[in-house]
Structure 1
């Protein structure tokens, strides 16, 4: 209890890195389990956070997506006092080790003998979360061959118009099974200068299933769009559920859906 009280008093000294604007949230428990497994974490709901000033349980509220092909994630975790901070999945995983943080906590409390004992079995210290994030965000060397200009996608939620092209199966390597997805065509971001996206896809979530969509249905909705290719389904018996074109963009968290 004494350590818990000390952590509470010193939590304001922790350097928080709050998310920049909106971040991705989990659609349901199955989505949460698939994501934490992919990050190499256990499927529990709370994880240890350890730094020089506090040692407490946190929860994963969501994640940020970045990278040219949206392959990197930064976790958004919530502390008991409600503070949010971003952290690299690998760094949070390191914190779950029983030996992690003993030395810096001992130094903060003035127990030098404990710090010396931990040093004997100390492993190489992981990089700070901000440094790990910066490393992950470092762009690859520019290729000499010029590529076609890419769409500049908005980071915030925007308004879309689109048509349901078809339903398809997509391979989910986290649970090693096919997921049902919706493929949209004529996707357009409606703003002062509209952006023609073309094809995009999204999970056939509970929100979309409530609207009983059909191919050819025209829709309006709000959502976020990222560059993420649609993985093709595997061992699909019904060929109608196989996609014969590539789709490079994904729409997340659609809301305010209306049929035209």
Structure 2
């Protein structure tokens, strides 16, 4: 049973990893539900709001209040959890998912008891031989430098977009180890005083989008938030659902959608 351990609120027994830097919050309930399901933390119709944080001798209830992204393409997440006493801490979503298992504390206790205590012997540093005289290398012709594409400064707030549906695809979700349905958009453009041409972007094929019965070639207008996050390829899917071109940007929570 999940409640086999005492439910305590003893801050002194918990090691906290407070968030540092910029924290992302959820735009709304739909955004929360999408993220929590993406991380594999809830599979029920009603999305879970409380989770167990467990250690070897106790467990505490926590809620997820936000997240941070990291990696070159922001493909990885750190979840920010809040304890009932108000303390905040960071945790990897996959580890929080493991904590929901009834057998988690047994695993932690077993690993702690069986951990090796022997010290690693210090390696003897061998005396280095005298370095050989360096050989003269032939000068190689210099390669022409390719001009780097201009870096796009993405707005942090929600903005208005126009775009065209390019195709539907599947993207591998390493949290729940399943393919997620996504919509790939082309000719994506941020409409503002100085418009920004984005090119390709993607978004989750959410319940909201499915209501519009989209198809390739359909033009759209909508509001949303754009982030630099490359579309992961799907696994073991039909060719028509594979995207061949790299899609470097993701649009979160498109709203006020107008189909034309």
State how 1:122-141 maps to structure 2 within 5 Å.
Answer: none
Q: How far 1:76 sits from its partner (Å)?
A: 3.2
Residue matched to 2:218: 217
Does the residue aligned with 1:88 lie in a helix, a strand or coil? strand
How far has the Cα of 1:19 moved from its partner?
Answer: 8.3
Q: How many residues are aligned here?
A: 204
- Contact 1:24–1:64 at 8 Å: present in 2 too? no
Alpha-carbon distance in 2 for matches of 1:174, 1:198? 28
Distance 1:19 1:159, change over 3 A: farther
Match of 2:91 among 75, 89, 92: 89
Q: Contact (CA 8 Å) 1:73, 1:88: kept in 2 or not?
A: no
Structure 1 unaligned regions, length at least 5: 8-13, 38-42, 99-122, 124-144
1:23 corresponds in structure 2 to 25
1:225 touches 1:250 (CA, 8 Å); kept in 2? Answer: yes
> What does the per-residue CA deviation read over 1:103-128, in whole Å, with 9 as the maximum and x for residues that have no partner?
xxxxxxxxxxxxxxxxxxxx9xxxxx
Give the Cα–Cα distance (whole angstroms) in 1 for the partners of residues 87 and 94 of structure 2. Answer: 14
Whether the 8 Å CA contact 1:222–1:256 is kept in 2: the answer is yes
**Distance in 2, Cα, partners of 1:234 & 1:241:** 10
- Identify the residue that residue 127 of structure 1 maps to in structure 2: none
Structure 2 SS opposite 1:207: helix
Give the Cα–Cα distance (whole angstroms) in 2 for the partners of residues 196 and 88 of structure 1.
Answer: 35
1: CA distance, partners of 2:20 / 2:40? 20
Question: Aligned-pair distance for 1:49?
Answer: 9.2
Structure 2: any 5+ residue segments left out of the alignment? 1-7, 42-47, 106-116, 118-145
Residue of structure 1 equivalent to 2:73: 69
Partner of 1:102: none
CA distance in 2: counterparts of 1:34 and 1:147, whole angstroms = 33
Q: TM-score, normalised by structure 2?
A: 0.59
Report the equivalent of 2:259.
Answer: 259
Alignment of structure 1 residues 45-60 onto 2, 5 Å? 45-48=50-53, 57-60=61-64
1:169 matched to 2:170? The reply is yes
Task: State the match for 1:198 in structure 2.
Answer: 199
Distance 1:218 1:58 in 2: 42
What is the RMSD computed on CA atoms of the aligned residues?
4.4
TM-score of the aligned structures, taking structure 1 as reference length: 0.59
* 2:44 alignment counterpart: none
SS at match of 1:58: strand
Q: What corresponds to 1:250 in structure 2?
A: 250
* Structure 2 CA distance for aligned equivalents of residues 179 and 255 of structure 1: 20
Cα deviation per residue 1:227-259 (whole Å; 9 max; x = unaligned)? 11112222223x322222221111111111112
Larger radius of gyration between Structure 1 and Structure 2: 2
More helix by share: 1
Change (3 A) 1:64 1:253: farther
Deviation string, structure 1 residues 6-44 (Cα, Å, up to 9, x no partner): 97xxxxxx997698575246647574144156xxxxx99
